[in-house]
Amino acid sequence: MKKSEYPQAFTILELVSVMVIILILAGMTVSVVRAAIESSRKRKSEIMIACLATAVSMYHTDNAAYPTDATHAEFATALESENYIEFKTKDLNASGAVVDPWEVEYEYLIMDGYAGTKWGNTNSYNLWSNGPDGSDDSFDEGKPDDDYGDDIHNW
C-alpha cells in the first residue's frame, strides 16, 4: 500500500459541521446577551424613576408644591438647581430633559384634576418611562386599569 503524498486533513464535511455548530452557539449567545441588556435597561429605568420620585418628594416637602410639569427640561432644572438630585451628562438630552435608557424623555405629570381616574397617583404626581417600545401605554383608555404595556412607572 502506497502512502499518500498529502498530510492527513479534515474533510469539507467536517469543516462545515464545525462551522455550523459555532454559528448556532454564537446565535444563542447573542440572544442571551440582548435579553440581559434589555433587562438591565429596564432596571436602570426603575432605579432612575425611584431617584426622581425621591427628589420630587423632597422638593414637595421643602416647597409645599410639586416641581412644574410645563416642560421636561424645567422639571429637571427645578430638581437639580436646588440640589435634590444630580444628573450625569448621559442622563440628559440636548434640551436638558432627563432621558431613559432608550433615549426617550421620562414623563412627569402633576395629577391635579385627575381624581377618580385609573391613572396612577391621582392625588400627587406620576413619573414614567414609555419603555422599550417608546410608546405611551399608561393612559390608553382601551386597556384594563392595570395594563400599562411595557411602561415603567412610579405607581
Comparing 125 with 134, the larger pLDDT belongs to 125
Residue 9 has pLDDT above 90, yes or no: no
Long-range contacts of 48-54 (CB under 8 A, 24+ apart): 48/91, 48/98, 48/100, 48/106, 48/129, 49/106, 49/127, 49/128, 49/129, 49/152, 49/153, 49/154, 50/154, 51/85, 52/79, 52/85, 52/98, 52/106, 52/108, 52/127, 52/154, 53/127, 53/154, 54/85
Going along the chain from its start, the domains and CATH numbers come out as: 44-153 (3.30.700)
pTM across the whole model: 0.75
Residue 19 has pLDDT above 90, yes or no: yes
Segment 84-116, tens digit of pLDDT: 999 999 999 999 999 999 999 998 888 876 655
Residue 131 has pLDDT above 90, yes or no: no
Segment 53-78, tens digit of pLDDT: 999 999 999 998 889 887 888 999 99
